């Protein structure tokens, strides 16, 4: 049975002054779908994510997004003067002091024991996992990932792929992953979209559901090596 539609965008056009960055974009994402978005620098990927996140409403066309949306960016943007656990539950209102909630989310991203650490003591991969915990704690129906692994070294990136895949299977949000990395898109996503130079979604590659989806299947690596 088809899952519920959580993103329904039709004829979306976005201009910055005279420049049309997105031109008539149509996009739908169902809950539990993992969609990758490829495109050159400056093609409008981040702009599209910001619009889906509700951070930019100055647009033409239809933008419907249902439920809670979380975003994780390339830079984790942690507040340096808050301990890790406070960063995770930041902005959650009455739950912003819920340490147990933060610790559960940290355990999910394999950072149990780092609750009291200061952000500056974390590696890039750890900081990015805190950013994922912060996204997950909101129990999003839609998770927007804007090149979240772009600044990480190759092995850390592999570990992050595995983590994101595990979290996606566990929580089944819809995911829109922006990436420069074609292999990453093909590995993780159900569907790959390409944002072209003219601000149009030019291609859509549905991927065979039967292909191996686990990183272990691809590389034959022991799961614990990457933890």
- Which residues here bind Mg ion, judged by CB under 5 A? 45-46
Which of 3, 40 has the CB closer to ligand ADP? Answer: 40
Convert residues 19-48 into a mask of x (bound to ligand ADP by CB under 6 A) and - (unbound). Answer: --x-----------------x-xxxxxxx-
Alpha carbon of 223 to those of 117, 153, 203: distances in Å? 26, 18, 34
- Shortest Cβ 159–ligand ADP spacing (Å): 24
Out of ligand ADP, Mg ion, none, what residue 86 binds, judged by CB under 5 to 8 A for its kind, is none
Residues 112-171 that bind ligand ADP (CB under 6 A): none
Which of 44, 119 has the CB closer to Mg ion? Answer: 44
Out of ligand ADP, Mg ion, none, what residue 42 binds, judged by CB under 5 to 8 A for its kind, is ligand ADP
**What are the b/e assignments for 72-102, b being 16+ CB within 10 Å?**
bbbebebeeeebbbbbbbeeeeeeeebeebb
Angle (nearest 5°) at CA 80 between 76 and 84: 70
Alpha carbon of 20 to those of 13, 42, 54, 60, 61: distances in Å? 7, 12, 19, 11, 13
Binding to ligand ADP by residue 219, rule CB under 6 A? no
Structure tokens at 207: 């991927």
SS3 assignment, position 16: strand
Alpha carbon of 121 to those of 44, 81, 91, 116: distances in Å? 33, 12, 22, 11
- Shortest Cβ 44–Mg ion spacing (Å): 8
Helical ranges in 21-118 per DSSP H: 45-52, 84-88, 99-108
Out of Mg ion, ligand ADP, none, what residue 21 binds, judged by CB under 5 to 8 A for its kind, is ligand ADP
Out of ligand ADP, Mg ion, none, what residue 156 binds, judged by CB under 5 to 8 A for its kind, is none
- Shortest Cβ 104–Mg ion spacing (Å): 31
Size of the site for ligand ADP (CB under 6 A): 10
Which stretches of the chain bind ligand ADP, using CB under 6 A?
16, 21, 39, 41-47
């Amino acid at each position: 049975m088809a899952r519920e539609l959580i993103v329904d965008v039709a004829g979306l056009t976005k201009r910055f002054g005279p420049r049309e960055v997105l031109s008539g974009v149509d996009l739908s994402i169902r809950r539990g779908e993992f969609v990758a978005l490829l495109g050159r620098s400056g093609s409008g990927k981040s702009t599209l994510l910001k619009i889906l996140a509700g951070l930019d409403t100055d647009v033409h066309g239809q933008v419907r997004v249902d439920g809670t949306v979380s975003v994780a960016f390339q830079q984790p943007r942690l507040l340096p003067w808050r301990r890790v656990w406070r960063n995770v539950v930041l902005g959650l209102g009455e739950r912003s002091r819920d340490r147990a909630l933060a610790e559960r989310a940290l355990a999910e991203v394999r950072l149990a024991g780092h609750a009291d650490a200061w952000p500056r003591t974390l590696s890039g991969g750890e900081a990015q996992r805190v950013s994922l915990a912060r996204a997950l704690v909101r129990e999003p129906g839609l998770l927007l990932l804007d090149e979240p692994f772009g600044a990480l070294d190759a092995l850390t990136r592999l570990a992050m792929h595995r983590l994101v895949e595990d979290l996606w299977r566990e929580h089944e949000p819809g995911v829109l992953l922006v990436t420069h990395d074609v292999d990453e898109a093909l590995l993780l996503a159900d569907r790959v979209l390409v944002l072209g130079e003219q601000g149009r979604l030019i291609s859509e590659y549905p991927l065979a559901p039967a292909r191996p989806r686990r990183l272990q299947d691809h590389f034959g690596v022991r799961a614990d090596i990457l933890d």
